[in-house]
Amino acid sequence: MISSLIRSIEDRSVPVGVVGLGYVGLPVACMLARTGFQVIGVDIQREKVETICRGESPFHGEEPGLAALVREGIETGKLHATTDAASLRLAGIILICVDTPIEPDTHTPLYRGLRGALAALGSVLADGALVIVESTVAPGTMTGVVIPELERASGKRAGHDFFVGHCPERVTPGLLLHNLTTMNRTVGGQTPDVARAMVALYRTYVRGELDPTDLLTAEIVKTAENAYRDVQIAFANELALISEALGANVYEVRELLNKSPGRAMLMPGAGVGGHCIPKDPWLLIANVRDTVDAALIPAARAVNSHMPYHMVELIEAALREQGIPLDGARVAVLGFAFREDTDDDRDTPSEVVVNALRARGAEPVVHDPYIPAYQQAVEDAARNANAAVIMVAHRPYRSLNLERLKSLMATPVLVDGRHVIDPRTA
């Protein structure tokens, strides 16, 4: 059965379903359509589906090549978007690309979206279908949640009537197509033969290395990647706090530190956001909390989660130097996305800053050139502000007219959380 699936991949005769048309699913669907597959994209958001069906990208940030690829998929008829999960009965391969958040207080996985997708898919799952989960999940989820849910919903047996794989996504907003096609991928299969079929599929558009392995290893690798980066960022942020307290310039410290062989300290900043790094460390340890006393990963999360609140502390201190209380101050918050030059605001540190400012009696005014709700002129956000804080290194902020900004503000206070502004110029 796997051999015939591989042949249908090679001749592009197998229809492919993609569940979830967000930052992961839509680029995947477009690339598969470009390589010749008939692709059925399913999403519960009707407005998004309608936008895609018009041949338009639903994203407002800078995503090189994606808009053209969406248009191409629709115009050639290779890409079809719908809200009807029943259409997946035609698919021989289904990729699941849905959100997998965590519970805010306990940091435990929330699989409502994943379970919903599995239930909808199970009711129409074709015999011999290959189901690949690209969503990042806690180690143990494929065997503990995905397979049982699919078996229950379909009445079929995994490994006999259908097959399961896990190839966790490695995309970044702003670089979706670039990362999708060039980065190495860990390909976890239920069996080595399933992994072989998955490699055949991903080889149709991935130029990076494809490393076949088992389900559990793939789960651990992806969550560990982001946990490792979170720890690295936390070190940079903690060193920034130490340098600030001692009166040193952390950026100079970083530059000199990195001249030592084997050192590659990351850039400190106003906080860590996005749908991956804030949650994946918790996913990594989610199923071992009773057996492993994990200390480093929660500590790193605490450091990085504190940084947006530290930005508020910096704003308050800067205003105090001007004799202005934070309570009642108007603060221009420049940037609401979690990452530069995108419209992705999932788990953004800017939201923490805005809420904390409001709680302290300040009046935050948000500007973001890529998010429609905040696309006012930057001058309007800065007008009569007592302070401005740069939360995102968007390209337009790198070329701010500081003289113009100063002339509009009630008080010339600028807090740079992303090392965008040259202090000497300011």
Task: Name the residue with tokens 């860590």.
Answer: 272
> Which position among 48, 78, 156, 222 bears the catalytic label?
222
pLDDT in single tens digits along all 426 residues of the chain = 899 999 999 999 999 999 999 999 999 999 999 999 999 999 999 999 999 999 999 998 899 999 999 999 999 999 999 999 999 999 999 999 999 999 999 999 999 999 999 999 999 999 999 999 999 999 999 999 999 999 999 999 999 999 999 999 999 899 999 999 999 999 999 999 999 999 999 999 999 999 999 999 999 999 999 999 999 999 999 999 999 999 999 999 999 999 999 999 999 999 999 989 999 999 999 999 999 999 999 999 999 999 999 999 999 999 999 999 999 999 999 999 999 999 999 999 999 999 999 999 999 999 999 999 999 999 999 999 999 999 999 999 999 999 999 999 999 999 999 999 998 889
Q: How far is CA 84 from CA 71, 81, 149, 369, in A?
A: 21, 9, 20, 34
Q: Is 222 a catalytic residue?
A: yes
Two tokens, residue 80: 């079809």
In sequence order, the β-bridge partners of residue 188 are 166, 213
pLDDT at site 100: 92
Q: Is 48 a catalytic residue?
A: no
- Other CB atoms closer than 10 Å to residue 373's CB: what's the count? 10
pTM: 0.94
> CB of 400 within 8 A of CB of 377?
no
Element (H, E) at 286: none
Q: How far is CA 187 from CA 19, 99, 121, 227, 318, in A?
A: 19, 20, 22, 19, 50
> Which position among 97, 156, 276, 279 bears the catalytic label?
276
End-to-end CA, the chain: 66
Name the strands in the sheet holding 79-82, side by side, starting at the edge strand that comes first in the sequence. Answer: 79-82, 39-42, 16-19, 93-96, 130-133, 163-166, 185-189, 210-214
Separation CA 140–CA 151 (nearest Å): 16
